Each structure stands twice: as C-alpha cells, then as structure tokens.
Chain A
Amino acid sequence: MKKIHFTLFAAASLLLATEASAQINIYIGGAVSLKDVTYNTLKTNMFGAANIISQNLDNASKPTSANNYTMTGTMPSLFGSQTVNVYVTWNGSGPAIQSLTGNGPCNFFASATQGVTNLVSANVNVGFAVVFQSDYAYPTPVLSDSTYGCTPTIFARSINTPPTLTNLTSQHLRYIEANGSAPLSLFTGNASDTTDIKWIMRDIGAAHRIISAKEAGFTGNALAYNFNFTNSTWALDSVGQLTWPIIDKMLTNSAVGPCITFLPPTEAANIPATNILSFNGFLPFRGSFNTTSNDFTPTINGQYTCWGFEHIMTLPAGSVDANIAAFATAFKTALSSNILAGTPYSIPLSRVNVTRTSTGGLVTPK
C-alpha cells in the first residue's frame, strides 16, 4: 500500500514538474487606469503580436478598454518556446494588493478563446497600482514595489450638473465625501444655487478614491449616492460602485441628476471633455482632454497635485517565482519605454519634475 502511494505521489510530482516547464501562468490584476498601455505593451513588447496564439477579451472591439482578458502564446525573449498564459483583470489597485499578499484570489477569464466567459480563481502574482501598498490594510508581506510613471486623478461632473460648477477645492471634496452631497452654492458662491449635487464613487478598491481623498486631507469614511435607474431615485451608498461603467453611466445618462466624482484618465475619456473639473483651480492637462495625446504639463510641474505613482508589484525577492520576477522586470522596462514614447493617460517618471513620498503627500521639486 505504501508503495502504491509513493508511486502515485511520484507520478503526480512528475506531472506537476512537466506542467511547470511547459506553461507559465501569469495572473495580473490592478488599477483600471493602466489598462491601455499595459495591453499594448503585453501585445507588442512582451508577446510580440505574431506570438499570440489566442486572446479572449471582454471588449474585443477595443482591447485597450478591456477590463478582463486572457492571452496565450509565447514570449521568446523571456521564456523561449514555453507557452505563456497571461490572465488579466483590471479590478482595482486594492484587490490586486489584497490578492498579491495572499488575502484572497481574483477571478480571471479561464480561457484564451474569445467569448468564453468561464472564470478561474487565482492569486494575482503581478500587481499594478497607483497607490502604495501601505494605503491598503495588507502590510505583509512587504511587496517588491517599483514605480515607472504617474497618472492624474481627474474630477468630473455629470451631463446634468449645471455648467457653473467648474472647480473643486480640497475643502469641497472633504465636505462632499463626508456628507454624500453638497449644495451647488458651495461651489459657485451663489446663495440662490440650491441644487443638491450628489457625490458618486467607486468602492475602496479603486486607488483613485484613495488618491483624491488623501489629496484633500479627507481621512473619514466616505458617503456617496447611487442612482437607481429602475425608479429614478438616489439612494445612499456608503460602499461605492464596483466598476467604472456604472460611474460612467451616471455621468452620461440624461435621466441622472447632478453629480460629480473622481475618475482615472482612462474613464475620463468616456465623458464630454467639457465636463472635466479643475481641482484647486487647475486642470491636470493643457488644452482639451482627449484619447490620443494629452499635455500633462500642469501635473508634470507640480501645479496640479492630485496624482499617484504607477507601481508594478510582485511578491518580495525570495518569495517570488523566478519566471514571474523576470516577467515583471521586463514588463516594467517595456512599459516605461512605451509611456515615454507617448500614451494619452500616463506620464513617464523621467518627465515628471516633481515627486512625493506618499499618496497625497507633499509635492516637491525633484
């Protein structure tokens, strides 16, 4: 009996070893704001378009906007002829850090066959975030954290919000996050502006919620509203919405009353550019915000301060799988290069003239 067990165990071990040498599985999770450049970098630089065998995207018509996708193929420069499966979910910085630290798996498309929506649950092993690990309640293990860019948080109003609301201050933000709504007069200075402006927000897994709160000095638990499209009423929302499309819909649907929120640049691209608000008197960009190329000079030079670093994280040295570490290092290098070449939503660190030591921390010249 012991012999049989030993034989079975040996066979299973061999199977595992064979599997490990044959395929490399990479599970990527993180900040939605990084999804465009990461997709392009995966496709062009990591795999190389010709080496992608198949891919399964939840937004096949616009891959750079896909929130979930799985790609399979080879990465010859890194792993030779080994099959590499890359599972990606842009579910927010928080869930990525939570999963990386072993506090809960994330769901990914199980198959790289387009249209198959079966999910597989696994821990993230390469995380992307626009905040620090210490911004979330998962301090251990201390992750390997490398920054390669920065991205602004953008504030916006819904299409039904009076256009006289053009600017948010830190005080406004602290008030409306604490109360969930604020009278228009608070923003315009006109006592007759009694319209109630609702605050809508993502859940705490969205790092841009943390960036905006810490930038304003808001340390409480935020309160917001959620528009119920069934009965066309607002309801209190102390948690926040789980995905950006819900936020986008509230900003752009004509049935929804006046509301404002924060957005990552990738989502700000989905709303009318005229509905983007300045923060403390400044916009993060010059000119009109667009989906091809933006001039982030106000952010680069410290005039606009509501931004976060772009981080790539893995388990610490000694704990991280060698293949994952090699992939992450190469990925960061390629991302930096691509951002430097120009993307509409990210700023390469080498071009930023200011820095900070923590999310919401003091912005200082480099």
Chain B
Amino acid sequence: MHDLNAKNFKPARRSPPDLNSTKSKHKAMKPHPAFNFKMKLLFTLAATATWLLPPISTRAQTFTYTNCDLVAAFRIAGGANDLVVDLGPASNFESLPARSVTTLTNLSATQLADALPTLNGVSWSVSAALRGNPNYPQYGLQTIWITSPRPDINTPGNVWNRASQGTLGGAASQIDAIGVNAASYGNGQPASADNTATGIVIPAASAFSYTYQVGAYGNLSGTFQGNPENTTPVDFDTAGLPSRSVLYRLEPDYSPHGTGVVVGFFDFKPDGTLAFTAGPPPERTTITNFTRNGNIATAWFPTINLVGYRLRYTDSAGLTTPISGWSIGGTLIGDGTTLFLQDTSSTANRFYTIEAYY
C-alpha cells in the first residue's frame, strides 16, 4: 500500500483550523535540469575536477495536491488558461464554526490576473473527493465535496443529492484528477509565480487542465448530476455583488438517496478574493404569523438551521429608507423550525421585517 498521507493534514478537532496556513509540503526536490551535465562531469573527472562544478541548486516548490483537499478552479470558456488553487483539506472547512467567514489567501491575485484577462464571465467551482486517504475515516470512500452555484446571491441553486458509491466514484475520479493533473503539470514546469505550492496556471488546451476535466458542459465530463460551476455575470467587476456557490458534502448512500449536507458557501468577489462562510447561506424568509399583545409584538417565521435572523423595525417615517438602515431588535439562530422574535414598544405604529444574515 502506498503512503497516501505524505502531505496530509489531520482534521482539526479542538479549535477551528487556519484555512490559510502554509500547506505542509514534503515533496522531494527534483534535480536541477543541469543535473545530467553535472553527473557526467562527476563521473569523468571524479576526484580531480570536482572543484569545477558549480553548487547544485535545489528547485523551488511547484504545485502539490493531496487527495481530499478542496480545489478551487477558475476558467473562462474559450480562454487560454485555467487557474487551479489548493485550498487545503476539506475536513478543515467542515470543522469551522457556523457563520465564521474566512478569506482564502491561497487564491493569489497575481495568478488570477495571469490566468484570466477579466473577472467577468469567469466559471469557477470548488470540489474535493475522498479516494482512499485514510486520514479521514469519518467519511466514506468516494465522498465528494462540490459546489452548487446560485443564480444570484438571493436565489437558491440546485440541491445536490447523494448517490451510490459507484455513482459518486465517477465524479470523484474526475474531481481527484483536477488536483492530480495540476500537480503533474506543475511537476513538469519550473516553479514560478504561476506555479507555486498552492496555485498553478495551466493552459486550458492541456490534457492536464481543469477545462479538460470539467468537460464541455461543466458536469465533470458527464459524471456528475449537474453543473457545479458558477459563472460571473458580464458586469461582475462593476456590479458589486459576489458570485456565490454553496458547498455540499455528498456521502455514498443507498436508494432512495438523500440530499447532500451543506457545509458552507463560497463568495467569489469582484475584487478577486474568495471567502468561505461556514454553515448554510442566509435565505429570504417570510413572516407567517404576527401578533401584538399590549406592547409586545411577535413575528413568527420559518428558519434554516444555523442561519442567523434578526428583527428590524422602523416607524412610518423610515419606510423610505433601505431596510439595512432600520433599527435592529432581537436576534436568533435558526434551527430548521418556525421560530419567533419579539419587540416590546408602546409606539402606536411600527413596521417590522425579518432579515436573514451571517
């Protein structure tokens, strides 16, 4: 059995992991291209002329990937280059506290600019697959983590379903290949600003590119139930809104298949940064019941587990101002049931709304 864990990370259990910590890299250094010449000299001149040799240099770190790492990938349809970024072990993202937000610094602005001429029309996804890495016994073989794009920040996207191990295996092999192939390609290139331990720019036409793996229809070459890629709008860089995708964990199960587990969501922002928020994304909710008894107003609304909700209110004069400017009343964390928030006030007329937030 080969050692699959040479570059692995133990999942953090007691404290949230630092998603931006430098990855442990244990890859053996490759010989410098001049090695052959140096070896010939060594064999020929042996002891008499070794003083002629310049010092043998080591080679800087090229892109590496470990099975079960989350990989973010970016491309433009028909573009020249893809960018592949290793975000670290998926399990690190699983153990973050709900609603915590982390900007992922493994995504390099330099590499993004070198790979993509614009941030408009960029297709991106984040995925991972467990393909035998024994460091994560809590997940079944062929478990995958994969994004579901939201059409816009306020509109839910597809809910990904679990599937049999054999079915997930097809997608898992493609996902694993994104990282494996990027590392192979990086190994054949000199280390550079576009080929670092955590990120690499790869020609889209290469058989080692993300474009090749995700396929023409974005569905991992026909192995996945849908398209995990989000594509930024044509006015992305000026509209000011993030491109949001929800990260699902899909573990193998038996028919009838359940839905995947929402781990969190990624926001790819117009400034070229990528942030991860743990837990489900906030969704617009509806006040399903409202009462006022004396000075106590009560608003009932359905909640999503782990999403934050807060009561906002204003008087009639404030109705013309944006809701984000209304006063904040009580707050709560949803648990998947219908809950309520209350406001105590003697004001005769007060207007209320429930805002989901993180």
Chain A interface residues (CB < 8 Å from chain B): 8-9, 12, 15-16, 19, 25, 98, 101-105, 120-123, 134-139, 174-175, 177-180, 182, 204, 218-223, 226, 228, 235-239
> Please, how many angstroms separate the alpha-carbon atoms of A175 and B2 in the complex?
22
* Closest B residue, CB atoms, query A20: B44
* Residue B217 lies at the interface, judged by CB distance under 8 Å to chain A: no
* Residue B102 lies at the interface, judged by CB distance under 8 Å to chain A: no
The 8 closest A-B pairs by CB, nearest first: A220-B173, A123-B36, A236-B132, A179-B169, A178-B173, A221-B177, A221-B176, A102-B33
* Closest B residue, CB atoms, query A27: B36
A88 to chain B, nearest CB (A): 17
Query: Can you list 23 pairs linking A and B with CB atoms under 8 Å apart?
Result: A105-B31, A105-B35, A121-B39, A122-B40, A137-B184, A137-B185, A178-B169, A178-B223, A179-B166, A219-B177, A219-B212, A219-B213, A220-B172, A220-B173, A220-B177, A220-B213, A221-B131, A221-B181, A222-B173, A236-B1, A236-B131, A237-B1, A238-B67
**A98 to B174, Cβ gap below 8 A?**
no
Most chain A beta-carbon contacts within 10 A, residue among B132, B176, B187? B132
**A226 to B1, Cβ gap below 8 A?**
yes
**A12 to B172, Cβ gap below 8 A?**
no
> Please, how many angstroms separate the alpha-carbon atoms of A109 and B212 in the complex?
39
* Residue B43 lies at the interface, judged by CB distance under 8 Å to chain A: yes
Given contact pairs A8-B51, A239-B4, a sample of 8 additional A-B residue pairs in the complex whose CB atoms are under 8 Å apart:
A104-B30, A105-B35, A137-B185, A137-B188, A177-B173, A178-B173, A226-B1, A237-B1
* Residue B141 lies at the interface, judged by CB distance under 8 Å to chain A: yes
> Please, how many angstroms separate the alpha-carbon atoms of A137 and B166 in the complex?
29
Chain B interface residues (CB < 8 Å from chain A): 1-2, 4, 30-31, 33, 35-36, 39-41, 43-45, 48-49, 51-52, 67, 131-132, 141-142, 165-166, 169-170, 172-174, 176-177, 180-181, 184-185, 187-188, 206-208, 212-213, 221, 223
B6 to chain A, nearest CB (A): 11
Is the contact region of chain A dominated by helix, strand, or loop, or is it mixed? Answer: mixed
**A15 to B44, Cβ gap below 8 A?**
yes
Known: A236-B1, A237-B1. A105 touches B173 (CB 8 A): no
> Please, how many angstroms separate the alpha-carbon atoms of A103 and B190 in the complex?
9
**Cβ contacts under 8 Å, A174 to chain B:** 170
**Cβ contacts under 8 Å, B67 to chain A:** 238
**B132 to A223, Cβ gap below 8 A?**
yes
Known: A12-B49, A179-B166. A228 touches B1 (CB 8 A): yes
**Cβ contacts under 8 Å, A122 to chain B:** 36, 39-40
**Cβ contacts under 8 Å, A177 to chain B:** 173
> Please, how many angstroms separate the alpha-carbon atoms of A223 and B169 in the complex?
9
**B208 to A238, Cβ gap below 8 A?**
no
**Cβ contacts under 8 Å, A123 to chain B:** 35-36, 39
> Please, how many angstroms separate the alpha-carbon atoms of A183 and B213 in the complex?
26
Say which residue of A121, A135, A179 sits within 8 Å of B142 (CB atoms).
A179
* Closest A residue, CB atoms, query B173: A220
**B36 to A120, Cβ gap below 8 A?**
no
**Cβ contacts under 8 Å, A235 to chain B:** 1
**B187 to A220, Cβ gap below 8 A?**
no
A269 to chain B, nearest CB (A): 27
